[in-house]
Amino acid sequence: MGLGKIIGIILAIPALILVLIPMFIQFWVEGLVTDALLSAFGISPIIGVLITIAGIIIFITAVIVALIRIL
């Protein structure tokens, strides 16, 4: 493993965290907003929960893909 790759990983991790935290917050807020809207229309909040879970799965997938690209 070359020095360039090690430096790349060290620089990429903080960048990854800075990108992923707002993304995670966005999915969480989206889930809450969807939940509130669905409740207002009398639709089961379960759909909001499913949307939030889907967002988290997308988030985790993005993390894995980013890590694979770095390595």
H-run or E-run covering 33? helix 3-40
The verdict on residue 29 lying in a domain is: yes
- Number of folded domains in the chain? 1
The verdict on residue 44 lying in a domain is: yes
Q: Is the pTM of this model over 0.85?
A: no
pLDDT at 22: 81
pLDDT band at 25; cut points 50, 70, 90: confident
Q: CA nearest 64: which of 25, 56, 1, 10?
A: 56
Domain that holds residue 62: 19-70
The verdict on residue 5 lying in a domain is: no
The verdict on residue 4 lying in a domain is: no
48-60: per-residue pLDDT in tens? Answer: 677 778 877 888 8
Q: Enter the tokens of residue 32.
A: 């809450």
Q: Enter the tokens of residue 41.
A: 């229309």
